[in-house]
Amino acid sequence: MNRVVHPIEEESYRRLRARLDTSRLPPLTRAVVERVIHSAADLAYADDLVMDEAELVAAHAALHAGAPVVVDVEMVGAGITRRETVCRLKDAVAGPGLTRSAHGIRLAHEQVGPGALWVIGNAPTALEELLTLDARPALVIGLPVGFVGAVESKAALRESGLPAVSNVSEKGGSAVASAALNALLYHPTSVEETS
Catalytic residues: 38
**Contact in structure between 177 and 76 (CB atoms under 8 Å):** yes
Render 35-50 in DSSP notation, one character per residue: HHHHHHT-TTHHHHEE
| CA atoms of 71 and 176, how far apart (whole Å) | 13
CA dihedral 64, 65, 71, 77 (to 10 degrees): 50
* b/e 149-178 (16+ beta carbons within 10 angstroms → b): bbbebbebbeeeebbbbbbeebbbbbbbbb
